[in-house]
Structure 1
């Protein structure tokens, strides 16, 4: 898979960017907006003091009964390691008010199962074949 050539990318504010597929016009709507080709969470381009910056997409509210706003000091952003996808895990957002945890990309139970067949050492980091 060909990765995005970041130095050549000239995004405008408000665009969505996938690390592997470049500019995305029609994102997939899941817990966060994601690349429709690989389901990786997108980066949103924003204008900060005259420069285009990249901001990671995140859920606006928790999925708890009160749907708390997930803003600074109200959310813990983390990473859950998992072999079920190419990125090696899931970005997580935990609401500090109610404890609700959302994560992306979706967990694939079948892909997370241990695999001990040919090429197992290439498939799961840290596993020796």
Structure 2
């Protein structure tokens, strides 16, 4: 049976931590503890990108988790423009590794563009049920 939970967050730095807490709570409830660390790291990166590049003042972003028998998907949607892309940065750079890191952890990464905004998502293979 597919599962899905979504939450909206305001354009504040504290929303990155709140999005990690949301992911932790949902995945714990779904008994998917083996994925918590990787998905929390990815939501940190995607939520930070949304705040820095995608959420205009006064707007929010949303975090959605969905699960099927085969995968778990994390999606972060914002109302900003832009075309996120995985890029390689030099060792001396202090930023720019978020999507690269998310892509390394997840089985898939994608961007869906909407009339207003975009959704950046990562999908993870679901571990077998205990």
Question: TM-score higher than 0.5 here?
Answer: no
TM-score (normalised: structure 1) = 0.26
Give the structure, 1 or 2, with the largest relative contact order (CA under 8 Å, sep 6 or more): 2
TM-score (normalised: structure 2) = 0.26
Work out which of the two has the higher radius of gyration on C-alpha atoms and give 1 or 2.
Answer: 1
Which structure: greater helix fraction?
A: 2
